[in-house]
Amino acid sequence: MEEINLSQIQSFINIFHHLYDHIRLIDPNSSEIINLSSDNKLDENVKDLMCYNFWEGDRTCNNCISMRAYKENRFFMGIENRSERIFLTMAVPLILEKRRVILELIKDATDSIYFENSISFNFLEVLKNLDNISNLALKDALTGVYNRRYINEKLPIDLKATVAANASLSVIMIDVDHYKSINDTYGHLVGDTVLKILAETIQACMKRETDWVARYGGEEFFICLPGAKLSKAVEIAENIRKAVESRVIKIGTEEIRVTASFGVSSNKYTKNTCYEDIIDEADKKLYKAKVNGRNRVEW
């Protein structure tokens, strides 16, 4: 990707400012708006300008297309629903001053949307459908928790936030013990039921709004605990382990009990830490739990 300068960006803004309601540069890792100051230089000290403030939120959006554009280095377009208004957002990755930033073009499209059959148009129904589409992109269809895409988008944000706050970040990898045997013995439908119940059990043990769980793939789940220290993460993992072990799954006249293994990784990371390394560390601890007999927590 060719590097551009601020004057080129300013020229672009001058051309398109009549077409879009908001044009801004952001760093999606920190959710920070990059201010274009009057002397045409980047002012990176505007800490109170957080991109999610525009959406009337207090934290990064779950479905951040700018983070996706940043990670995949390609253009993305999304539709946002805020305060009964519909916004069209385009995210364009650029190289500016030797770092990747995102140019966001935001248009309030509420009054610009045309429906061929205006009689059947229901604005609230449209907003509901937009929310459903957004959730489908980030939720696992079987278990209802977040999916792998969400991990790839949200974990880098939480990592950046905890580094900035000099706080710990803890993650937990979970794997169902002997899951293949469950499928072979009872069938894949029962295997799916086990995964659903495991997801429910995990969620019931999580109390903070900032914590989240996702299905990593197959029978593996991933938990992120921003700000949690190792001792707290181990406590949560142990609580989930006990809850899973004590849960009885009724299949017809049979009762099935399952167990799970847990790997915990926790640290105060630096700005040079890659989120993939955090996942890898937790995965190594999970492997250790498997080797050491399963149904246990390793950290």
Q: Would you please indicate which residues are annotated as catalytic (active-site) residues?
A: 219
Whole-number Å distance between alpha carbons of 284 and 239: 21
Of 156, 139, 145, residue with least CA distance to 66: 156
Whole-number Å distance between alpha carbons of 148 and 108: 30
Report DSSP letters for 191-252, one per residue: HHHHHHHHHHHHHHT---TT-EEEEEETTEEEEEEET--HHHHHHHHHHHHHHHHH--EEET
Beta carbons of 104 and 66 less than 8 angstroms apart: yes
Whole-number Å distance between alpha carbons of 225 and 9: 38
Q: Which residues share a beta bridge with 225?
A: 170
